[in-house]
Amino acid sequence: MKILHFVSHFSLLSETFIYDEIQALEKTSLHDNSVLTFERHLEQDRPFSRVQVLSKTPSRAQKLRRQYLKLFKGIKVPREDLSLYSYWAQNFDSFDIIQVHFGWNAIPLCQTLKLLGLEKKKPIIVRCQGSDINSAPLLDEGYRRRFLELAQYPNVVLTANSEFMHQKMLKLGIAPAKIHRVANAFNRSFLTQRKKHFFKPGDCLKLVNTARFIGWKGQRYLVKGFARFVREVYANASLTLIGDGETQAQVKQLAVEEGISEKIKFPGSIPHHQLAEALSAHDLYVHPSIIDPLTHQEEGLPISVLEAMAVGLPLVVTRTGGMPEIVGEDNTFARIVPHQDSDAIYQALKELFEAGNGFQDNSAYAEQRLAAFSTVNQLQDLTAAYVKALQHCQR
């Protein structure tokens, strides 16, 4: 099958899972993949030859065609969608399946296809990931209305990457039959760089988190919980916060205010192919995301938690989004804590430190938990979604 992947940016560092998914599909003999995007990123780190980059600025010929369509056909193509409209007018028959990454990319795609009378002619898979379901429909009524409209198309199948996302989509009003579970998968290269040397009392206890610096990722709660841990339990500890973003300066200032700035490292973003090595140099991974009170955003199913587990780190995560589905219940290698609660993070760190048995090989636990997030399972579920969409089109 010839599959066209449409995503506005290909491929952002925070969207490594899209690139990995396409690479996994490429390794099968069943699929021929191409990418349609408006911006190309990390081209050297993520080489892929079949990428068509559309211009956001319409050409003169496209502008003239827009005027022609408006005057003589009564078709009003939004200026921002003109290059997308022109592309589909010429290339719609070149693909068997259209796979859209994120719900907000599905809206302009389906709108342009609708202008061409093609919106129900071909299978469309919409890979919903997080804020496209958690936040955008609550903040933008226009988005919500258009998204629910396209969700009713018989040829559209929406995917949920976790049971949490599945329930969110049902609550949004999407029919159960339209939703197909396709869990995110972690890159198996992380299993090849598993931690071999584990923390012992007297060593520096090295904590790590990897996330964008935005409010709902909750780094400030981790810093406050870590500061209390250093003061009251174990002073010989450090924290590495990997990533960049708008709240980084605020978090750095909080570290100063808590008197622990010398114990926290801010290395910025790290190329994904170097991340496994960086994680395995630490002893414990913390993911302190919150449910944002303003945007309602929370995690869908964060790949970073899967990656930390894969390299062998014990985990502290908040009870938000799909994270409990990853780690299971509290156990030797994981603690789940309330969100927006630095004291709960402190208590989990204290428990793991005092128990000590989480700082050992987690192979059996990791194998059991990660089985649901394998590339093999992902491809099987994704192929089933393709078949489902194709069957709807045939009807």
Per domain, the residue ranges of the chain are 2-185+374-394, 188-371
CA distance 105 to 81: 11
Q: What number is the average pLDDT over the span 195-199?
A: 96
Query: What topology does CATH give the domain 188-371?
Result: Rossmann fold (3.40.50)
Strand-strand pairing, 179-181 and 205-210 = unpaired
pTM of the model: 0.92
Helix locations, 189-247, DSSP H = 219-232
Q: What is the pLDDT of residue 80?
A: 79
pLDDT digits (tens, 9 = 90+) for 74-83: 878 777 788 9
| Mean pLDDT taken over the chain | 94
User: pLDDT band at residue 395, thresholds of 50, 70 and 90?
Assistant: low
Q: What number is the average pLDDT over the span 147-164?
A: 95
Q: How far is CA 119 from CA 28, 66, 154, 236, 249, in A?
A: 28, 19, 10, 60, 45
pLDDT digits (tens, 9 = 90+) for 32-42: 999 999 999 99
The three state secondary structure string of 128-165 is CCCHHHHCHHHHCHHHHHHHHHHHCCCCEEEEECCHHH
Q: How far is CA 191 from CA 23, 187, 207, 285, in A?
A: 18, 8, 19, 16
Q: What is the pLDDT of residue 60?
A: 79
Rounded to 10°, the helix 342-355/219-232 angle is 50
Output the CATH code of domain 2-185+374-394: 3.40.50.2000
In the DSSP assignment, the letter for residue 73 is I
In the DSSP assignment, the letter for residue 263 is G
pLDDT digits (tens, 9 = 90+) for 103-122: 999 999 999 999 999 999 99
Q: What number is the average pLDDT over the span 271-281?
A: 96
Question: Are residues 162 and 303 in contact, defined by beta-carbon separation less than 8 angstroms?
Answer: no
In the DSSP assignment, the letter for residue 219 is H
Of 65-69, 114-118, 195-199, the one with minimum mean pLDDT is: 65-69
Six-digit token pair at 114? 């609708």
Question: Are residues 235 and 263 in contact, defined by beta-carbon separation less than 8 angstroms?
Answer: no
pLDDT digits (tens, 9 = 90+) for 2-19: 999 999 999 999 899 999
